[in-house]
Structure 1
Amino acid sequence: MPEQYSFDLAARPALGRGDFFVAPANATAVATVEGWRDWPSGKLVLVGPPASGKTHLAHVWAALTGAAILPARELADADLPALAAGAVAVEDAETVAGDDTAERALFHLHNLAQAEARPLLLTAAAPPRQWPLTLPDLASRMQATATVALEPPDDALLTAVLVKHMAERQIAIAPEVLSYAIQRMDRSFAAAAALATALNRAAITARRDDVTKPMVRAALDRLDADRA
């Protein structure tokens, strides 16, 4: 039975390894994260768009390594030596850019982790060369870090994402309705999350535990209108 892959979710996220659906779009990233003992210099940047699964993979990795996980915005107030005493994952690492205190905190955490030979995982929406870092030493260290990307979803992965979003909201979606949605929605993880949220709202309003093609059509029309 193929394993399942999960993504960043707004409602009761399931972050275990068994919740992953592995498809060509994410197989390399999953294998690389799980193969953390082979990371060059013990560090990796995991890149992907919003809702692509970066947080889920960080939690899977933390389960494997006992790592602490924290958002980059909390680094400035963190006990960096304590963090560097074990494996550590920093989420949304690119958000330190332009904040001198945060950049220096990430720089020191990186150096401490390297000195202690502790693995470091960073997640980001873009590769380090695109981060507008102002601290040259941090920029050079980040750009020297191995990077792996979560690619845009194919139909199989997008289907799995939408099914899981709906299941976590306890809303049923029949195969023909699911196919209807996949053929018409935007091809992105974020679009799947937005559609699931809209369908959940529609189901609650209609007092249903499933969704219909007209509900999907109306939800997609509303999402299109919101973007206009």
Structure 2
Amino acid sequence: MPLSLPQLTLALFDDAHVDLKDFVAGPNQLAVNALSVWLAGDGPWFLMFWGGSGSGKSHLTQAAVRAIGRGNTRAMYVPLAEVLEFGPAVLDDLESMDFLSIDDIHLAAGDAHWEQALFNLYNRTHAAGGRLLIASAIGPRGLNFALPDLNSRLSAGLIYQLVDLNDTEKQTVMQRRAASRGLSMPDNVARYLIRRLGRDMREITHIFECIDAASLSAGRELTIPFVRDVLGLN
């Protein structure tokens, strides 16, 4: 039987290296605690995270579904940034999921068809007894969906703003990411990358993927000279 579009979405955009245990909460511990309650099936059925690029919202929304999906519970991660081109039919029948996670919902603002589909899915999920986790780069008061009822629905849940980590916490993120790939990243290498590449965690994570591939190909350990050569830094 061919995979449905939602099944393809999960297969294509599931990152095996994203795990809740690797998330560095820092100042976002209350949000992580709320997610643990949500995952246990307790507390409010609807939870929303919002924050800027690299704040960790995509990590949490995807890792939550991976954690749930290891059992018999039905769970789905839907990254709107990757599936908008397929149209709102992507959301059809997703209320059948026990746990549903939708990332980058702000990207649907201004598209009447997507807004209506999200509103309908919200209502169907609630009626079916499912649990919904949503992430956005913009807080609910700033989303300004053209559909007023969608704005009101998204403002009615448990909402947490995710804030940036400090440099020490970002260093820990990088080292945990490396460890999940079987690599050891010394403190001086992590500090070098943060200092030279900026402090946006999304960018740092992307750069790490390049370094990881180069290290695997060359069979080299992570050192400052090696990293500098891979990235073409002086």
One-letter code aligned to 1:211: L
Q: Residue 115 of structure 1 aligns with which residue?
A: 127
Q: Distance in 1 between matches of 2:160 and 2:195?
A: 29
**Residue in 2 that maps onto 1:94:** 106
- Code of the residue aligned with 2:135 in structure 1: it is T
* Contact 1:75–1:106 (Cα < 8 Å) also in 2: no
Residue deviations 1:109-151, cap 9 Å, x none? 1111222332211111221222241112212222333311222
Aligned to 2:8: none
Q: Which residue of 2 aligns with 1:32?
A: 34
The residue correspondences of 1:1-228 to structure 2 (distance < 5 A) are 13-21=16-24, 23-36=25-38, 37-39=42-44, 42-62=45-65, 63-64=67-68, 66-72=74-80, 73=84, 76-78=88-90, 80-84=92-96, 86-168=98-180, 171-200=183-212, 203=215, 207-217=218-228
Shift of the 111–15 alpha-carbon distance from structure 1 to 2, 3 Å rule, reads same
In the superposition, the TM-score normalised over structure 2's length comes to 0.72
Q: Which letter maps to 2:77?
A: I
SS in structure 1 at match of 2:135: strand
* SS class of match (2:49): strand
**Percent of residue pairs identical:** 27
| SS of match in other structure, 2:78 | strand
CA distance in 2 between counterparts of 1:128 and 1:195 reads 31
CA deviation map 1:20-46 (0-9, x unaligned): 33x42331221111112222xx21111
Over residues 174-226 of structure 1, what are the superposed CA-to-partner deviations in whole Å (9 max), with x where a residue is unaligned?
A: 23333333444422312321432453466478x3522332444566775x9xx
- Match of 2:122, as an amino acid? H
Structure 1 vs Structure 2 CA RMSD: 3.2
CA, structure 1 residues 162+68, in 2 after alignment: closer, same or farther (shift >3 Å)? same
CA distance in 1, matches of 2:210, 2:93: 44
Question: CA separation of 1:129/1:219 partners in 2, compared to 1, >3 Å: closer, same or farther?
Answer: farther
Aligned to 1:4: none
For 1:139 and 1:16, locate their aligned partners in 2 and report how far apart those are by CA, in whole Å.
Answer: 30
Amino acid at match of 1:98: G
- The alignment partner of 1:25 has SS state of helix
Which AA in structure 2 matches 1:58?
Answer: T
> Partners in 1 of 2:91 and 2:138 — Cα distance?
26
Gaps of 5+ in 2: 1-12
State the TM-score, normalizing by the size of structure 1.
0.74
Alpha-carbon separation, structure 2, partners of 1:184 and 1:53: 21
Query: Residue type matched to 1:29 in 2?
Result: A
Gaps of 5+ in 1: 1-9
Question: Is the CA contact 1:84–1:116 (under 8 Å) kept in the aligned structure 2?
Answer: yes
Q: Is the 8 A contact 2:91 2:121 kept in 1?
A: no
User: What is the number of equivalent residue pairs in this alignment?
Assistant: 210
